[in-house]
């Protein structure tokens, strides 16, 4: 992470994933990780600071296309941008897909 301040739940930067550029909300900070060992150092942290590594739950403000990194790596990488700079980069661990009701319209004759 490369952010001048602290990041808390509710932070809403722009997420760049493949060709999508959509605002995403940091809904929950799930765990803080040690960069070298990849072990959890803090369950449910309240803030993430510059230089930290974390697992977070992101929720897009609009529907977007992405996949878990292990299933399809090109759609599983993302960058978090704010203040005209890259704040963080990462990989998608899990995708929770939401079904949107489709509108069917009858064709006019």
Q: What is the mean pLDDT of residues 39-60?
A: 93
* pLDDT tens per residue across span 3-34: 888 999 999 999 999 899 999 999 999 999 99
Report pLDDT for 103. 58
Closest to 59 in 3D by CA, of 5, 19, 13, 101:
13
| Predicted model pTM | 0.79
Give the separation between CA 40 and CA 54, rounded to whole angstroms. 9
* CATH fold of the domain at 14-91: Elongation Factor Tu (Ef-tu); domain 3 (2.40.30)
Interval 56-105: pLDDT, tens: 999 999 998 899 999 999 889 999 999 889 999 999 999 988 776 665 55
Among residues 24, 106, 30, which one has the least CA distance to residue 63? 24
73: DSSP letter: G
Note whether 22 and 64 are within 8 A (CB): yes
């Amino acid at each position: 992470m490369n952010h001048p301040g602290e990041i808390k739940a509710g932070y809403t930067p722009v997420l760049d994933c493949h060709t999508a550029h959509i605002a995403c909300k940091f809904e929950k900070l799930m765990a803080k990780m040690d960069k070298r060992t990849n072990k959890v150092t803090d369950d449910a942290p309240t803030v993430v600071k510059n230089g930290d590594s974390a697992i977070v739950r992101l929720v897009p403000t609009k529907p977007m296309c992405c996949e878990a990194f292990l299933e399809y790596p090109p759609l599983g990488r993302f960058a978090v941008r704010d203040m005209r700079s890259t704040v963080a980069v990462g990989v998608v661990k899990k995708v929770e897909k939401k079904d949107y009701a489709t509108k069917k319209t009858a064709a006019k004759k």
